[in-house]
Structures are given as structure tokens and as C-alpha cells.
Structure 1
């Protein structure tokens, strides 16, 4: 059989947390603070709401670098999701998001700092493992991936 994955983790469900985002906060910084303050070392998150402006990134695979897109207008968060794992021994949020502008056009990508919240809600599901995955640099992709 073809090798379809590198490693498997089997976790038990932990806490389920819900948060209301503060008006004017940076979305990624807020998500990162939530996982750090609650010592969530592995899990997933989902968020929705609205933003005053946004920044997302796209990874250029051939160049192994991110390019960012600034969206300087109010938009709805249609869907935001991500995972939580360890990077350099600390909780780390990796999130992607889809926005909708006033014309109904969708924009999205890898969430980066610079997205300013209008209103929002977040759910976090903690997953319990004795040794959560750690992100380390992967030579092949140029990304920090789970090991």
C-alpha cells in the first residue's frame, strides 16, 4: 500500500473553550494569546465574525516563501479554522480564513498579523496527548511541519 501519511497521533478530547473577540484587536494575536494563556498544546479552532480590514498570505511553493495580500475594507469572516501545536516548545496557532467583501467576492488564505476584528467568536477544542506534535522546519517544503 502507498504511504499516505508520515505519522499518526491518537488524542483524547480535552476542554472546549469559547471566546468573544474584542473590537479592534488583531485576530491572529488574539488567537495566539488564547492558546498561550490557556496552555493549549494541541487542538483545533474555528472562528467567525467580521473584520475592519484583513491580511492573508499565500505560499509560493516553488520559491518557498509567503506573499501577503492586504484587504483594506470591512468584510465578513465566512469561515476561519486552524490547528494548535507546539513550535519551539510553545503553543502555536496555524489558521486559514475565508472572507467575503460587500460584493460577495470571497478572499482567503493563511491568516497573518494585521487583521483587525470588528466582532467575532472563537471555539477551541483541546486535544490531550502525552507528547503533542512539534513543528520543525522541513527541507522539502520549506515549511514548519509536525514531527
Structure 2
């Protein structure tokens, strides 16, 4: 396993930055090991919803999970508001860093992750090549 540690800075887009990082580093099969930080805006698609919801307030990033590759990313996030209420869902573009995001990414060369359109789900779904 190869490890990457990155820090995103204020006003960077969380999802887009991770996608760009995967492309720049030619990551074929990566996964989030750890992620904390804060957002000044969240854009999350909640379960069984077609569209994402933009939330304009400050949030703590509690968790970020999923796969990352130069062919696409699929990430879920859990965040907490100023009262500690937690919400989460599918990470979309438009999650803007407030102060920082500290992220550790693991990769493997045993697999290659691709995103293929699945007619049954209507989404780009993971295809694992060995």
C-alpha cells in the first residue's frame, strides 16, 4: 500500500480537489483512510434524492469514506453543525473548505477502479479490475 497525506486550504472544493489529486498522482485504486477539517458550505445528496442540497453554514468534517481513482471518485461525508447535529450523504462538488481539510489516502496496485454506467441504478458504478 502506498500512502498520501494532503491538506486542503480555505476556499478549495473538497470533491474536485480530491478528483484532481487522483488524476495528478495517477491513482488507479485509492481509498480514504482519514479525513477531518471544516467546511463553509456543504453540497450533499441525501439518500434516495435526485438532487444535492446546498447548506450554507460552518461544519466540522467528522468522516469521509469512499473510493478515489483517476477515473472518478465516490465519497460519502458526515458533518456536524455548530450544535453538534450530524448529517451526511453523498459528497458532491460545492463542498468548500473553511479552514482546512487533512486527508490521508491509501492506494493499492492490486486493483484498478473504473466507473461504468449501470442501467439498473442509473449511476456510474464501481467496476474493479484485478
- With the shorter chain as reference, the TM-score category is 0.7 to 0.9
Larger gyration radius, structure 1 or structure 2 = 1
2:43 corresponds to which residue?
55
1:68-96 CA-to-partner distances (Å, cap 9, x unmatched) read 111110010011111024xxxx4311111
1:1-147 matches, cutoff 5 A: 13=1, 15-45=2-32, 46-60=34-48, 66-85=50-69, 90-118=70-98, 119-129=100-110, 132-147=112-127
Contact 1:48 1:121 in 2 (8 A): yes
Contact 1:55 1:71 in 2 (8 A): yes
SS of aligned partner of 2:22:
helix
Give, in whole Å, the separation in 2 of the partners of 1:95 and 1:67.
Answer: 16
1:107-138 CA-to-partner distances (Å, cap 9, x unmatched) read 11101111110211011101113x61322111
Aligned residue pair count: 125
Given the two structures, how large is their TM-score scaled by the length of structure 2?
Answer: 0.88
Cα RMSD (Å) of the superposition?
A: 1.6
Give, in whole Å, the separation in 1 of the partners of 2:6 and 2:113.
Answer: 24
After TM superposition, the runs of 4+ consecutive aligned structure 1 residues lying more than 3 A away are none
Q: CA deviation at 1:99?
A: 0.5
Contact 1:42 1:91 in 2 (8 A): no
Given the two structures, how large is their TM-score scaled by the length of structure 1?
Answer: 0.78
Contact 2:31 2:106 in 1 (8 A): yes
1:8 corresponds to which residue?
none
Q: CA deviation at 1:97?
A: 0.3
Which consecutive unaligned segments of at least 5 residues does structure 2 have? none
